[in-house]
Structure 1
C-alpha cells in the first residue's frame, strides 16, 4: 500500500503554501524569490511561489530567464547563493554554464559516535573510497536519485578494531554514497574557499539580504495585501519597482553631485 502525504490547504487562500522551516514562523505563506545585481543592488527579477516550494526549485529557470531577458547568455560572470541552493542539480548546471558560483555550505552533524564521512577519502582513479584503516570501499550500484554506493567487504570489517565507530549495520558492512555530480559540488566548495569567493559571498549581506530587509521593513512586503498568487506577484513587483526607483535616484544623484 502506497503512503499518502498529507498536504495542508488554506481555506482562505488555497494558492498559498504551508511553510515549515527552522527559525521561521510556521503557517501559510508565499515566498519572494528575487535576484539583484551586486554592483548597485538593483532588483532584476521577482518570482512568487507558495511557501511550501523550496528555494532551489525555481532557481535555474529564473536564472535562464534573466540571462535571456538582459542578454547575459555569454556575459554573466558569477552568482552568490545561500545554502538552500546547494543542490547537485544547481551545482552541475552552473558549472556547465561556466558561471563562477559561490554557495553557502550546510552544517551536517555526523551521527554521534560514528566516524565522519569526510574521513573516508575518495580515489578518483580507482573509483573507490578508502576508510581511515586503509580499506577500500568499492563501487556497488547507483540508485534512482543518482547516488553511487560504495560498500566495504564485511569479512574484512568484522575484524576491524574500529568497527563500532564505523557502522552499526547488522551485516558489518560500511556504505558510502556519492552523487554522480559530486565533482560539481566539490567545485562550488573550492570556489567558496578562495579569496574571491569569500568576498563575493560577503556581498550577499549587502545586496540580497539588504534588499529583502528593506522590502519588509520599509515597503510592507512582510504581509500579503491580497489573496492569490497573481495578486501577490503584483504586490512584489510594485515593491521591487519602488526599491529600484529609489536606488536609481540615489545613484544618479551621487553622479550629478
Structure 2
C-alpha cells in the first residue's frame, strides 16, 4: 500500500501487532502480577495521573529481554517501535523516568522476581530437584585507567580540600558584596555550580580512599568512579573493574531461582545464604546443589549437610579419584611401581600431592603410597589473619628409606606431614560421591544448567557491563535483568504449552 493512501477505517494500535506476537504474552503475564506495593509509591493530588508502574516496568523488562538497556533507546522505542508502543499503550516515557524507576523500586522488583518464581513452580516449570549455582564477571561502570592507590588519592584529596577552601573564601567574599548591594544574599540555600562539583568530587575521592585502605589487593588500587567494584581479570582478557553476579538456576526449565552480586572472588561465601533464600521465598529447599570448585569450602559442605541438601561440588586441587592409583582397596599395600608416574602432583611444588595419601576415618590415620601408616602427631593453627583454623597433623615415619622420598618432599625435613581440618571427612565423602557413576552423570549437567543463563545475558540480552554504580544499585540492576530473563523463559514455555493444547483440541 502506498504510504499516502487514505483508508476508510484507520487501523488501531492493537491491529498492528500480530495475535501471536510475544509482547502480548509478555503483557498478559505481567498484568496478572500483584502491583499494589508499587502503587503505594504514588500519591495523586493534583495534575496529570502518573503512568502506572506496571507499564514502565513492562517496558524496562521487555527491553532487557530484547537486549535494549539504554534509557534513551527505550524512550525512542516507545515512540517508534510498534511492539513497545503497544506495550506502553501509546504513552511517551522520558528516559529520566526509566533511570529513576529502576533504582526506586528495589524491594518491589525483588517481590516481582519471587512472584514469577512461584508461578513457575506452581506450573511445574521449577521443581528444585537440581539447582546449579555459578557466578560470572561483568564490567563495572568504571574505566580500567581510572584506578588509584591510597597515596595518590590522599594527595588528590588534599589538593581538592585546598581548592574548596579557596572557593569557599571567594564565595563568602561574593556574598558579602551581594549583601552590601542588595541587602540580602542571592540563592542562600544553593551552592555555586563550581563549588557543588568540587564537593561531589570530594565525596567520591573520600569513598575511594576508604576503599583503597580497606582493600586486600596486592596492588592496592581501587576504581575511583566505583570503589565498590574490584579490578580483576576480564572474561574477554585483560584487567578492569568488575563485579561478580551470581545466579542459582533450576534444572527443569533453566529459570533463575535466586540472584546476588558480590565483589572480588567471594562467590563461595554466598552459597548457604542462597540456599536459605530459595527455601524462604519458594517454600522448598533445593534437593541437590551443583557448583564448581569456587563453592567447595569445608564450611559450605558442612552447612549444606546440616540443611539436608545434597551437594555435588568438586574440591579445589583434589585429584580425580577414578584416575588416582593411590585410591586402592587396601591402603596398607604399596602402589605398584608402574603406577608411580600417575600419582597426583602438586602443581606448584611438583611433589606428591596430598591426594596421594589415603585417609581412614575409623583409624584416624593416613596411608602413604608405600603403605606406611601416618599417625596423628598434634594440632596446628594455620591460615590467614582473617581465616585462622585448627588442623590435625599426621606424620609418616617410613620416609628415610622410602624410594619415593625425592618425589614426596624436599628441603631439610626428614618426614612427610599431611594435615586436614575438621571438614576432611566431608571432603572425602564428596570425592567418593563425584567418583561414582551416578555422581558423574548428575554433575555433567552442571555446565549447561549453570552457564546457559550467563550466555543468554551476554549475547542475547547484551548484558556485558553494568549501567549503575555502587554495590546496592548493581544488585538491583542484576535483579531486573534476572527478572527479565525469567519472564522471557516463562512466556516461551507458556506459548509452547498453548500450541500443544491447541493441537490436542
Question: Same-fold call, TM > 0.5?
Answer: yes
2:311 to 87, 101, 114: 101
Query: Aligned pair 1:225/2:437, yes or no?
Result: no
Name the CA distance, whole Å, in 1 between partners of 2:302 and 2:236. Answer: 29
Pair 1:167 & 2:409 matched: yes
More off after superposition, 39-48 vs 143-152? 143-152
Which residue, out of 248, 259, 272, partners 1:46? 259
Q: What is the match of residue 69 of structure 1? A: 281
CA–CA distance in structure 2, aligned partners of residues 247 and 107 of structure 1? 36
Residues 132, 198 of structure 1: CA spacing in aligned structure 2 closer, same or farther, 3 A cutoff? Answer: closer
Match of 2:443 in 1: 201
**In the superposition, relative to structure 1, how do residues 72 and 215 fare at CA in structure 2: closer, same or farther (>3 Å)?**
same
Which shifted more, 171-180 or 20-29?
20-29
Which deviations, in whole Å up to 9, do the C-alpha atoms of 1:133-167 show, x marking residues without a partner?
332221122333232211123xx533434322222
Which residue does the alignment assign to 1:136?
373
Query: 1: CA distance between counterparts of 2:395 and 2:409?
Result: 11
Radius of gyration: which is bigger? 2
Offset, 1:129:
1.4
> How many angstroms apart in 1 are the aligned matches of 2:234 and 2:367?
36
Q: Distance in 2 between matches of 1:31 and 1:61?
A: 16
Change (3 A) 1:209 1:162: closer
CA 1:13–1:151 in structure 2 vs 1: closer, same or farther (change >3 Å)? same
CA contact (8 A) 1:221 1:236 kept: no
Q: Which has the higher strand share?
A: 1
Per the TM alignment, residue 64 of structure 1 is displaced from its structure 2 partner at its CA by: 1.1
The residue that corresponds to 1:184 in the other structure is 426
Give, in whole Å, the separation in 2 of the partners of 1:206 and 1:53: 22
Query: More helix by proportion, 1 or 2?
Result: 2
Matched residue SS, 1:176: strand
What 5-or-longer segments of structure 1 have no aligned partner? none
Paired residues of 1:137 and 1:151 also in contact (CA < 8 A): yes
**SS of residue matched to 1:34:** strand
TM norm structure 1: 0.86
Contact 2:359/2:367, CA 8 A, preserved across alignment: yes
1:194–1:253 Cα change, 3 Å: farther
Unaligned runs of 5+ in 2: 1-215, 319-344, 382-388, 500-505
Q: Pick the aligned partner of 2:269 from 40, 57, 60.
A: 57
RMSD after superposition: 2.4
Shift of 1:15: 1.1
- Residue deviations 1:148-193 (CA, integer Å, cap 9, x gap): 211123xx53343432222214131111112211111222223323
Determine the C-alpha separation between the residues in 2 that align with 1:5 and 1:53. Answer: 11
Tell me what 2:247 maps to.
34
2: distance between equivalents of 1:20 and 1:165? 34
Alpha-carbon separation, structure 2, partners of 1:163 and 1:201: 36
In 2, the alpha carbon distance for the partners of 1:203 and 1:255 equals 24
Structure 2 distance, partners of 1:238, 1:189, is 38
CA shift digits 1:73-99 (9 cap, x unpaired): 5xx311111121111111121122221
Select between 114-123 and 6-15 the one with higher mean Cα deviation: 114-123
User: Do the aligned residues in 1 keep the contact of 2:357 with 2:367 (CA within 8 Å)?
Assistant: yes
* Cα distance in 2, alignment partners of residues 191 and 113 from structure 1: 27
Give the drift of 1:20.
4.4
SS at match of 1:207: helix
Question: What is the TM-score when the length of structure 2 is the normalising length?
Answer: 0.46
Runs ≥4 residues deviating over 6 A: none
The aligned counterpart of 2:49 is: none
Q: Which whole-Å CA distance do the structure 2 matches of 1:185 and 1:24 have between them?
A: 33
Secondary structure at 1:118's aligned position in 2?
helix
2:360 maps to what in 1?
123
- Quick one: distance in 2 between partners of 1:83 and 1:163? 30
* Structure 1 SS opposite 2:269: coil
Task: Measure, in 1, the Cα distance between the counterparts of 2:404 and 2:244.
Answer: 47
